[in-house]
Amino acid sequence: MIETLAEEELVEIVAVVDINGDAPGLHQVKGMGIPTFTDVETALISSAPCVAFNLTGNEMVEEVAAAILGVGAVVGGLEARLIHRMVTDLKEAKNELQYQATHDVLTGLMNRRFMVEKLLQEIDRCKRYNVSCAVVMMDLDHFKSVNDERGHAVGDRALKVVSSSIANQIRGADSLARWGGEEFLLLLPHADKPIATQVAEKCLVSLRDAPIEDAVNGNFFTSFSAGVACINELDLSLPAADVLDDLLAIADKRLYAAKARGRACVVADIMPASN
């Protein structure tokens, strides 16, 4: 209850009281910077005016609180439990909406919109602290034929298997998104091209041990082609949005260079032709 209320912008917890001075809840709220008391009357007098939530179920507590704050300023029993449930439900709904707005439904990865926010933040950080980051753009090989010959259900299964396999290979600080269709984007903070290439190749190799189930046509494996780009290759005096456009353009052209080399490989050594 305390944690739930503390996260509400319209609520300010002015004090918590428990006659047991060693209660775990008191130690918890002390760490949150909330005043604590072991005497009900002292707590109410010190905190008034306020609304008192009686979570004990003890009617005597409500009587004491009502005498000090007024009857309308005391919430207890069923009312307190209902409010707690409502606040909890609203919090869960808010979190679910936030998750749906930032993640891909099929794979559970970040969606493109959320990844763009991450990329812009990372570029600003690189410019501010003169550090590096890299991106890897990956596109599944022959994915159209998977959908056409095996069906979209198998294609969806392939996307989920690939997502899980790649996610298990990347570093803790890295971010992975479904960029669109069968395309994925990996952001690697504090990474140069060799590090990003190594991670991408590790992800590619992992797909050799990630069979995709197809009960009708037989299980199969897939691969991806990837292009790597590093922020150190770019003009960081430009606005972050322009740097991002250039970074993605380089990664995209290197991805297509990987396709041209026969697929199932990672390319980081070809600069795109200037316009």
Which ranges constitute the DSSP H helices of the chain? 2-6, 24-31, 40-47, 59-69, 77-102, 112-129, 143-150, 152-167, 193-206, 240-260
pLDDT higher than threshold 50 for residue 79: yes
Q: Give me the mean pLDDT over the 163-176 stretch.
A: 98
Nearest 10 degrees: Cα torsion 174, 180, 181, 185:
-20
pLDDT higher than threshold 50 for residue 57: yes
pLDDT of residue 135: 99
In this prediction, residue 10 has a pLDDT band, given cuts at 50, 70 and 90, of: low
pLDDT of residue 77: 64
CATH dotted code for 112-267: 3.30.70.270
Residues 6+ apart with CB under 8 A from 135: 119, 185, 186, 187, 188, 196, 228, 229, 247, 248, 251
What percent of the chain shows pLDDT beyond 70? Answer: 87
In this prediction, residue 8 has a pLDDT band, given cuts at 50, 70 and 90, of: low
Q: Give me the mean pLDDT over the 138-150 stretch.
A: 98
pLDDT in tens, 197-253: 999 999 999 999 999 999 999 999 999 999 999 999 999 999 999 999 999 999 999
Q: Give me the mean pLDDT over the 64-70 stretch.
A: 80
Q: Which of 8, 62, 182, 183 is catalytic?
A: 182
Q: Where are the domains of the chain?
A: 2-102, 112-267
In this prediction, residue 91 has a pLDDT band, given cuts at 50, 70 and 90, of: confident
pLDDT higher than threshold 70 for residue 196: yes
192 vs 11, higher pLDDT: 192
Q: Verify whether residue 182 is a known catalytic residue.
A: yes
pLDDT of residue 33: 79
90 alpha-carbon distance from chain centroid: 20
Q: Give me the mean pLDDT over the 176-197 stretch.
A: 98
Note if the pTM is more than 0.85. Answer: no
Which range among 33-37, 57-61, 63-67 shows the weakest confidence by mean pLDDT?
A: 57-61
Contact 160, 107 (CB under 8 A): yes
pLDDT of residue 275: 43
